[in-house]
Amino acid sequence: MVAKTKVAKTKRNNQNKTKLIKQGVIKKTKKRKNLPSLPPPASKPKDAEYSEESDHGEDMLQMVEEDDIEFLKTAITNRSYNIFNRVRYRESVEPKPKKRKIDDDETLENEYEDTLGNDDDGKKVRNLLPIKTKKGVIPQQTLEDVIENDTNDDEPAAEPDEETESSDIENFTLEDSEVDLSKPVSAAQLLATRNEILRQRKIHIGTLSSGLLENPEEKVTNLRTLLTIMDEEDADVYLTIRKLVIVSLLEVFKDILPSYEIKKTTSDGVKMKKDTLKLHKYEENLLLYYKKFLQKLEKYCFMLMKKKGDTRKRSEDETKLGVLAVQAMCDLLVTHPYFNFSQNIAQAIVPFMNNGNRNVRDIVKTAVKTVFKEDKKEEITLKIMRVINNYLKNHSHIVHTEMLEVLLNLNLREVNLDQEKEQDMKQKKLMSHKSRLLQMSKKERKRKKKLKEVEKELLETKAEENKQTKQKNITEITKLVFNIYFRILKLSSNTKILGVCLEGLAKFAHCINLEFYVDIVNVLDSLLKEDWLGYREKLHCIQTVFAILSGQGEALNLDPIRFYNSLYKDLLFTSAASRKSDHIPSLLKTLSDALIKRRKKITNKRTIGFVKRIATLSLQMTHDGTLGCLGLIRTIMQLNRPIDILLDLDNSVGEGKFQAEIDDPEYSNAASTALYEMILLNKHYHPIVTKFARNIASGVPATGEGSLPGEYGKSSAEQLFTDFNMSEMSFNPPVPIPTKEKPKTNPKRHNFADSSFEIECKDVFRRQPVAAQFWISI
C-alpha cells in the first residue's frame, strides 16, 4: 500500500488555475510590481486647516464671474462640456455593478502601445509574429488606418473599399453636377457635363494603364478594372469610353505580352518556390484578362457583319467602334503572332476580308500580308491558310478579291513538291535497306528513340529553328494554295476572282507537280477561247503557260503556238500612257519567258515580229514602260544576231510587204521593215530613253560610241521598269534646278543709215494714235 501524500490547499488551487489558463478559460494575470511606499502626508496644523476651509467668509459663487457661471450652465444642459468626463466621485449613493479590474501594468502597456503604435500619418503600427531565420529574429509590423467613429465606439467601422471609391469617382452624372434638373437643360450644359465625365474617365483609364506598364506583375488586376469600364452603359459616353479603353488596352497588351506561348502547367503535388508560384499566378491572370479582352473585341467586330433577316442599321459611331476593334485584333496578331489565341484571332478576322466596307478589307489584308512576310516558323501562316480555304469552300468562291490577293505574298520560292517526293522515296528505300542489313534488338531501338528525343530537346534549348518542321509547313501551305486555285479554275466564273487566281498560278507555277502540267495547259487553252475573259485574265493565262514551259515543263511535248499568237494579238492593248500600268511587269515577265528563255525553240521570223511590235508598243507608254520594252529589245538583239536586219533601211531584203494587222507574227513579214521607232525615241524627254534608243539604233555596242553606262547595261527589263517607276512621283534621274539669269538692263539701240528717216520715226511715236474709221458702201 502506498501512502497518499497530502497536497496543500493553496498548491491545489494554483494547479487548477494553471490548468484553466492552459485551456484558455481564464487569462493569466501579470504580477504587480511592488512600488516603493510613499511617505505619509504631513499633518497640517488646525489653524491652517481652518483658514483653508473658511475662505474668510466669502461665498464660492461670489468668487466666480457671471460669464463663467452662464457658460457652465449651458455646457451642463447641452452635455457638451468635456471637463466633467474625467471627474470621478468617490462617494456613491447607490452600489454599482462590479466591473473587471484593470491592472496598472495593463493600462501602462496599452498607453505604451498607443504611443508607439501611432504613426505620423495617422496610421496605427501593429506588431506581427516575428520570423525566425538563421541570421536571427526578424520583427514584422504592418500599418493600419485609425478609424474614428463618433457614433458608437463599440461597433467597428467598415473599411473603405477601393472599388466603391473608384465607382464614386467614376459615376459622375448630370444629377451630381450643379445643373438644376427641375428646369430645362441647355445643350451647352449637357456638353459640359459630358466633357467632365470623359475627363474623369480619361484620368482613371490613364492611371490604371500607366500602373500596368510600370509593374505588370503587381498591377495585373488593373486589367479587370479596365474591362469593367468597357461595360459602361451611359448612352452619351459609352461608345467613346469603349474606344478609349480599347486603345489603352491594345498598347498595354502589345507591351507586356511575351513573344512565346504560355502553356498551362499542373502543379499537383509539386512544391515550387515563391517566385515561381507568383509567376504562374501572373501568367494565369494575364491569359484570363487577355481572353476576356479578345471576346469583347470579337463582339464589337461582329457589329459590322449583317446576318440574314437582320434589318438593324448601325450608327456611324458603332461602325467606327467595330472598325477600331478589327484594327486592334489585327495589331495584336501582327505584334504577337506566336502568343496564345493567335489562331482564334486569325479565325475571327479572316472573314472581314470579304466585308462590304473597303476600309475594313484593307486593314485585314495589310495585317495578313505582314504576318505572311514576317512569319519565320510558317505556323501561323498555315493556320490562316486553313481558315481561308474553309471560308472559300463555304461561300462557293463568291468573295472579294482581297481574299485571294493576300496569297500572292506567300514565300514559296524554295518549294519543289516533286523534289520532296523524290527525297521521301529515297529516304524510305534507305531505311528499308538499313533495316534489312542491320537487325536491331529492342534495346537498340529504344536507345535510338531516346537519342532522337534528346536531339529534339537540344534543338529547342538552343532556340534553333527546326528546318524539317518549317519545310513540312511550307509544303502543306503550297498544297492548300493550289487546292484553292484549281477549285476556282473548275467552278468559278467570276472574272475578278479568276484573274487573281491566274496571277497566283503564274507566280507559283514552278511549285506545281509535273503530272498536273498537261491538264493545266489544256484548261488555260479552253479559257482563252472564252469571250467574257478580259485582257488581264488572258495575260495571266499566257504567263502561267510560259512559266510552266520555261521551267520544269520544258521537257513536255506541247506546241504553244496558240499562246504566242494570242500574246502577239493583244500586245498593243496593254496600256496607254493615260492608263494605269499595273500589269506591265506581268507583260515583261511573260515576254521574257516566251522570247528569251525559249529562244532556241522559236523561229527568227516570230522573234523579229515580236521585236517590231514591242518597239511600236514603246511609243504609247510612259518612260518606265518604254525603258522596260527597250531593255527587252536590247537583250533579244544581244542573244539573236539575225534581229539586226531590223536596222537595215533597205526594204528589198524581206520576203514581202510588212503587214502589221496580221495576228500571226510568222506571216507579218516584219523583216521587210525597220525600227523607225528609235528615231522618234531619240528625241524623247527622258535622257535614259534617249540613250537606250541610240544604243539599239547603233547595233547594241558594248563599248565605244552609242554604248550604255554599266549601271544600265546590266539591268533587266523588269528592273528598269521598277527603277524608273513614277508611282512615287520621283523623277529618275532628278531634274536639275534651272539657273536664274539676270535681266538685261541696257536697252537696245537702233542705228539708222538715213538720219531723216530716224526723225520721221520719232515723230510718228510722238503723235497720238487716231482711231481709223472705215465706211462701207453698199
Among the ranges 127-136, 291-300, 445-454, which has the highest mean pLDDT value?
A: 291-300
Domain count across the chain? 2
Q: Characterize 469-484 residue by residue with b for buried, 16 or more Cβ atoms within 10 angstroms of its Cβ, and e for exposed.
A: eeeebbbebbebbbeb
Last residue of a domain, one of 358, 374, 390: 374
- Does 301 score more than 50 pLDDT? yes
Can you say how many angstroms the Cα of residue 262 is from the centroid of all Cα atoms in its chain? 20
* Three-state secondary-structure class, residue 92: coil
Nearest-angstrom CA–CA distance, 470 and 450: 23
- Does 514 score more than 50 pLDDT? yes
Counting every residue written for the chain, the total comes to 778
Average pLDDT estimate for 285-308: 87
Q: Characterize 400-415 residue by residue with b for buried, 16 or more Cβ atoms within 10 angstroms of its Cβ, and e for exposed.
A: bbbbbbbbeebebeeb
Whether 95 maps to a domain, the answer reads: no
Q: How distant, in Å, are the alpha carbons of 125, 308, 348, 365, 401 from that of 354?
A: 64, 16, 12, 10, 8
User: 580, 578, 583, 644: which is closest to 611 by C-alpha?
Assistant: 644
Instruction: Copy the grid coordinates of residue 757.
Output: 528717216
Answer yes or no: are the C-beta atoms of 703 and 644 closer than 8 Å.
Answer: no
Answer yes or no: are the C-beta atoms of 210 and 219 closer than 8 Å.
Answer: no
Among the ranges 121-130, 279-288, 506-515, which has the highest mean pLDDT value?
A: 279-288
Q: Which of 171-175, 426-430, 480-484 has the lowest mean pLDDT?
A: 171-175
- Does 86 score more than 50 pLDDT? no
Identify the pLDDT of residue 725. 85
Mean pLDDT value across the chain: 76
Q: Which of 280-294, 388-402, 690-704, 762-776 has the lowest mean pLDDT?
A: 762-776
Q: Which amino acid is located at 647 in the chain?
A: L
SS3 for 190-221 is: HHHHHHHHHHHHHHHHHHHHHHHHHCCCCCCC
Whether 190 maps to a domain, the answer reads: yes
Q: How many CA atoms lie within 13 A of 395 on its CB side?
A: 17
Identify the pLDDT of residue 641. 87
Q: Is the dihedral of CA 655, 659, 662, 665 positive or negative?
A: positive
- Does 244 score more than 60 pLDDT? yes
Identify the pLDDT of residue 678. 92
Average pLDDT estimate for 359-369: 92
Average pLDDT estimate for 512-537: 81
Identify the pLDDT of residue 389. 92
Higher pLDDT: 334 or 447? It is 334
Identify the pLDDT of residue 575. 56
Higher pLDDT: 726 or 78? It is 726
Identify the pLDDT of residue 263. 81
Identify the pLDDT of residue 54. 44
Which string of DSSP letters, residue by residue, matches 127-150? EEEEEEETTEEEEEEEEEE----S
- Does 733 score more than 50 pLDDT? yes
Alpha carbon distance, N-terminus to C-terminus of the chain: 182
Whether 589 maps to a domain, the answer reads: yes
Average pLDDT estimate for 738-742: 73
Identify the pLDDT of residue 601. 87
Average pLDDT estimate for 20-39: 61
Among the ranges 137-146, 325-334, 652-661, 745-754, which has the highest mean pLDDT value?
A: 325-334
Identify the pLDDT of residue 613. 93
User: 118, 137, 117: which is closest to 127 by C-alpha?
Assistant: 117
Last residue of a domain, one of 374, 396, 415: 374
Percent of the chain with pLDDT over 90: 16
Does the pTM surpass 0.75? The reply is no
Higher pLDDT: 195 or 90? It is 195
Average pLDDT estimate for 646-655: 76
Whether 322 maps to a domain, the answer reads: yes
Answer yes or no: are the C-beta atoms of 658 and 673 closer than 8 Å.
Answer: yes
Domain holding 711, by residue range, is: 559-735
* Three-state secondary-structure class, residue 563: helix
SS3 for 248-281 is: HHHHHHHHHCCCCCCCCCCCCCCCCCHHHHHHHH
Average pLDDT estimate for 738-754: 71
The beta-carbon contacts of 747-751 under 8 Å, at least 24 apart in sequence, are: none
Whether 117 maps to a domain, the answer reads: no
Higher pLDDT: 21 or 591? It is 591
Among the ranges 29-38, 71-80, 169-178, 378-387, which has the highest mean pLDDT value?
A: 378-387
Last residue of a domain, one of 353, 374, 395: 374
- Does 140 score more than 90 pLDDT? no
- Report pLDDT digits (tens) over 163-191: 443 444 445 454 555 555 556 767 787 78
Identify the pLDDT of residue 636. 93
- Report pLDDT digits (tens) over 621-641: 888 889 999 999 999 999 988
Identify the pLDDT of residue 695. 92
